A = this chain, B = another copy of it.
Amino acid sequence: MPPEIRAVGIEGLPEVQAGDDLAAQIMDAADAQGTPVEAGDVVVVTQKIVSKAEGRVMTIDEVEASPLAIAITEGHRRDPRHTEMILRESRRVVRMDRGVIISETYHGYICANAGIDASNIPGSDSICLLPVDPDASARRIRDSIRERLGVDVAVLVSDTFGRPWRNGAINVSIGVAGFNPVISYIGEFDPHGNELHTTTIAVADELAATAELVTGKLLGVPVALVKGYPYEPMENADSRDIVRDPDKDLFR
């Protein structure tokens, strides 16, 4: 059989509220549309609903903008209090220019605006922060699925990141559970007998990208199941494996 995978978007989830049991909502919605969660699935959950369930939506009314936040935002569309929260969620600014902030989050991710945005949430003064520990978020969902269905799955939390040099954002992984996010071919040989010296592939990011093709931005489809992908099971999966060591990064 040729290698084949299938990605299915899960529709019909309710508007997620703080404290919701996201895993139950996902399993229920998947059942309702006739594509249940099954052993070996990769369950890809977009960050926004994870943050909502974990109470990471806030209003900026309560925030006081610092002089730096006001200075950066001057002449740009963003509210300085929103900018202030970007600074507070950053542990290092990588670039700051023309209203754009590229920073390193406390997780180690380098992205625009510390992953904070205001789309797909109710209320014009609301913003949504990244989950505090996306691996723990993924683990909780995985554990709930195992508990209810008695099967092992992989879970990943995805977010939409821009990149240098290329137009258009793509979805990447920010949290993983149950599988190896970066597989290695180092020391293996290609069909011509050439040893592969350096190839590692961030399959977690490729799975996140795959899922985006069925979740989109406007579809109200915040979860996808990727079926048929032979992931490498890993009980102690850790997203730090996908964060490049500063010593090996030429673009710090």
Which residues of the partner chain B approach A210 to less than 8 Å between Cβ atoms?
Answer: 5, 7, 206, 209-210, 213
Which residue of chain B has its CB nearest to the CB of A4? B8
Interface size, A (range): 35 or more
A199-B160 in contact (CB<8A)? yes
Chain B nearest CB: distance from A23 CB in Å?
A: 19
Whether A241 is near chain B, meaning CB under 8 Å from some CB there, is yes
- Tell me the number of copies of this protein: 2
Which residue of chain B has its CB nearest to the CB of A11? B2
B169-A199 in contact (CB<8A)? yes
B206-A171 in contact (CB<8A)? yes
A249-B213 in contact (CB<8A)? no
B3-A102 in contact (CB<8A)? no
Which residue of chain B has its CB nearest to the CB of A196? B119
Complex Cα spacing A172 to B219, Å: 24
Whether A233 is near chain B, meaning CB under 8 Å from some CB there, is no
Q: A119-B199, A205-B170 are in contact. Are A2 and B9 (CB under 8 A)?
A: yes
Interface residues of A (CB under 8 A from B): 2-11, 33, 35, 77, 95, 97, 100, 102, 109-110, 118-124, 160, 163-172, 181-183, 185, 188-192, 194, 196-197, 199-203, 205-207, 209-210, 212-221, 229, 241-245, 249-251
Query: Given known contacts A3-B215, A4-B8, A191-B218, what 5 new A-B pairs fall within 8 Å (CB)?
Result: A3-B8, A4-B6, A95-B251, A168-B181, A251-B251
